[in-house]
Every structure is written in structure tokens, then in C-alpha cells.
Amino acid sequence: MKQSDEEHRKRIVVKYGGASLADHERILKAVTAVAKEAKKGTQIAVIVSAMGKTTDSLLHAAKNASNGKVEKGELDEILAMGERTSIRIFAVALKAQGVESRYFDPLDPDWPIITDDVFSDANPILDKCEKRIQQHVLPIVEKGVIPVIAGFVGRTPDEKITTLGRGGSDTTAFILAKALGADELIMVTDAEGIMSADPKIISKPERLPNIDVNTLVGLADSGTKFIHRKALRYKDSTVKVRVISHTHGDLNAKGTLIKGALSTELDVVPASQFPAMSITVVGRGVSEKPEVIQELTEMVKAHAHLLGLSLNYDSLILYASENEDSNQLLDKVHETVLEHEETLAMSVRKQLAFLKVKGVGLEETPGLIGKISETLRLNAINIFGLLTITSSILLFVDWNKKERALNLVKNALRGD
């Protein structure tokens, strides 16, 4: 987005999670931090979640009172009340500190976040959102007025209230920051940033100064509550994102910088430009001998690129790149197999192509592995290895059938 001819004014989007607004003291600290930054001339838009555990309380009350018979559309209207209350309190508190503010409610005619009608897990319609943000929110921001917008909440084109599901407030924040052309998105949470582990489980996790979004997605939704992967798909590569703790009461506090952006479309690409091989080692209780596993993996890494590893109780499969040292490597692996009583024999398959299926939404697409494998089966292409990791499926097929496999999998991902 082009800046005006006047001197550039810093523009930020600030998102407050529920824990950052859990009581009046935290709300006051949050409002004070925003007001202080606004008085420096910074243009600010604020997104707020429901206070504390309000959403959970509303959910339990609605389900218990209706014996679980509340419809999703009705439930969304109820759950949205948490955010709709927060925006009003936050806007009033800003005005009390001499800062002009205006809240956006989903029933307002100029409400910016438009979604489909998948109640309780709605998906933003991006072109409509961006257009309405630029039409209705941007002019307010440029005037120095602070818009306070309900996170987690949307509205269908026929004006029914929706909620965006897990990570909904973060989704709103990413969309708003991009559409406003913000210099930075600041996500205020109850942690010092993105941590090396969940502080509720690990006693002394460390703050990561920065993390790539492709690495972060590996933590998202894994039981560690950082940022939900559904929200991360809306992060634009041009938007600088900083995660900080509410305890500082300072929007310039150190935190974690989130860099990069995720691929938004499912796709398959060659993960290696060279042939690969699989080395299968069988035995008894192989998985219970970490020293054997370490010896074999270190041996492979010393002579080739270790592309993947599969392990069960009685066998280990190592996937490695082929090169001029491959035969030497295989001889050394065989010597190691003979040295340990837990390993009995080995087999090798060469000339494999290493393919990677990637993209946001992969883990939310039911039956995708079955669709890929069935497509390849019907075309007489064997899968010699299949590994699944966060937002990726790794495949090993015959090297000579690589291009055919790539095209077949691409078509399967598109639904052709």
C-alpha cells in the first residue's frame, strides 16, 4: 500500500489475547501502553479477545442450559458477546486517557471481517475483508483515531455473526495488519514471546528472539499454545510480527520476531535434485537401543544427506542421498549391523525420488494421504517410503517415474 506524500507515520496493529485482559488491572495496563504509543504520533489499530476465560464460561453456560442442543449459529452469537464486551470497555478506557477511539461491532454496517457460514470455524473471505478494512478502518487510523475491533468474530454476507474458531483473534490480526499496510503487528500474550517449550509444562523455558513461521507451524497445535496454524496461514511475508508479554505494559518490549510466510496452496515439489536410497536394518528390539540408532544415523550423515528416518520395534529405515560414497557407506552400515546382536540384516533400495507435499491446510484435509496413494497405485507407481511431519508429507518413489508421480500428485491435490 502506498504511503501519502506527508512524512511517514509509524503504523501498528496491536492484538491483546484474553489473558492480557483478564481483569481491570491488566486492561488498564494494556490501555495505558496503547495510549502512550498513540501520543507519540503512532497510528494504531487494536484487536481484543474476550476477557480472561469469558469465552469458556459462555460456552459452558450455553451448552449446559440447553442440554447441549444449542445450534452452532446461535452459539456463535453467544460466544461473540465476550469480544463485543471487550471492545466497549477498551474503547471507553482509551477515551478516559484522552485518546480518541471507536469500536467496531460485528453488527455495525461497516464491520470489516466478512466470512463464510461455517459457524464456529468460519473462514474469512479475504478480498471482502481487505476491501472493507481499507474502506472503513484505514481512514479512521489515518486520522489518528484508534479503532478497537473484536477478534475471533466475523459476519457472513447475509449479516449473521460467526466465530473463527481456534486462533481466531490472531487470524483477525494478521488480516488487519496486511490490509492496513502496518509497519508491525504486536501480539500481546501471557508469555515473554515464543518460548522453547510451554511454560505451563516446562519450568524454565527460554524466549526465542526470532523464529521462522515454517518452524513455528511445527509447534502450533501440538499441545503447545503458541499461535494456531490456521491463523498462521494469513501471515503475510511483508508484515513484521512481534510477540511480547503483557506484564511489561510497554509495546516496545522485547519479544519474539516471527519471520516469513507459509505456502498457502497445497503443492508437491522435488525435495532433492538427486536420487536417494533407503537402507532398511532389521533385527530384534532395535528401537530400544539408542546407541545403535545413533551410530547408524551418524554414519549416514558422515557420508550423505540424511533425508528421513522411520523406526519401529524391530526395524529402522534410513533415507539418504546417493553419491560417489554410497557403496562405502553401505559397507560400513553392514559392518555395524554385524557388530550388534540387536541388528540381523540389511537391505537397500537405490534410485528413489524424494518428493514433498506441503502447504497450509494439509493436516486439515481429510483423506489426503489415501487420495495420493490411490492415485499412484492406479498408475502403477509404488511408494517406497512415506513420512508425515507438520504440514508435510514426504514420499519416496522410483526415480525414473519422478515426473509422472509429480504430475499425478499435483492433480490429486487439485482434485482433478
State which H helix or E strand residue 87 sits in.
Answer: helix 72-96
28: in domain: yes
Cα–Cα distance, 117 to 153 (Å, whole number): 12
Looking at the fold, whether 125 and 170 belong to one and the same domain comes out as: yes
Looking at the fold, whether 254 and 272 belong to one and the same domain comes out as: no
Looking at the fold, whether 139 and 58 belong to one and the same domain comes out as: yes
pLDDT tens sequence for the chain (416 residues) = 444 434 568 999 999 999 999 999 999 999 999 999 999 999 999 999 999 999 999 999 999 999 889 999 999 999 999 999 999 999 999 999 999 999 999 999 999 999 999 999 999 999 999 999 999 999 999 999 999 999 999 999 999 999 998 889 999 999 999 999 999 999 999 888 988 887 777 888 899 999 988 788 777 645 455 787 788 889 998 899 999 999 999 999 999 999 988 766 678 889 888 999 999 999 998 888 899 999 999 999 999 999 989 898 899 999 999 999 899 999 999 999 999 988 999 999 999 999 988 776 566 666 778 888 999 999 999 999 888 876 678 899 999 999 999 999 988 887 65
Q: Output the furthest CA–CA distance in the chain (Å, rounded).
A: 78
Looking at the fold, whether 246 and 282 belong to one and the same domain comes out as: no
Question: Cell for 323?
Answer: 553419491
pLDDT of residue 5: 39
Q: Tell which residue, 402, 416, 415, 414, has the closest CA to residue 269.
A: 402
Strands 43-48, 146-150: parallel, antiparallel or unpaired by DSSP?
Answer: parallel
CATH number, domain containing residue 354: 3.30.2130.10
Looking at the fold, whether 224 and 241 belong to one and the same domain comes out as: yes
Question: Cell for 269?
Answer: 515439489
pLDDT of residue 6: 46
71: in domain: yes
pTM over 0.85: no
Structural domain count, the chain = 2
pLDDT of residue 223: 45
Looking at the fold, whether 116 and 223 belong to one and the same domain comes out as: yes
Looking at the fold, whether 202 and 283 belong to one and the same domain comes out as: no
CATH number, domain containing residue 15: 3.40.1160.10
Looking at the fold, whether 238 and 140 belong to one and the same domain comes out as: yes
Looking at the fold, whether 125 and 58 belong to one and the same domain comes out as: yes
pLDDT of residue 186: 97
Question: Cell for 59?
Answer: 460456552
**Residue where a domain stops, chosen among 234, 259, 284:** 259
1: in domain: no
Looking at the fold, whether 318 and 344 belong to one and the same domain comes out as: yes
Looking at the fold, whether 227 and 288 belong to one and the same domain comes out as: no
pLDDT of residue 416: 59
Looking at the fold, whether 227 and 277 belong to one and the same domain comes out as: no
Strands 256-259, 241-245: parallel, antiparallel or unpaired by DSSP?
Answer: antiparallel
Cα–Cα distance, 409 to 405 (Å, whole number): 6
Domain that holds residue 279: 267-414
4: in domain: no
pLDDT of residue 203: 84
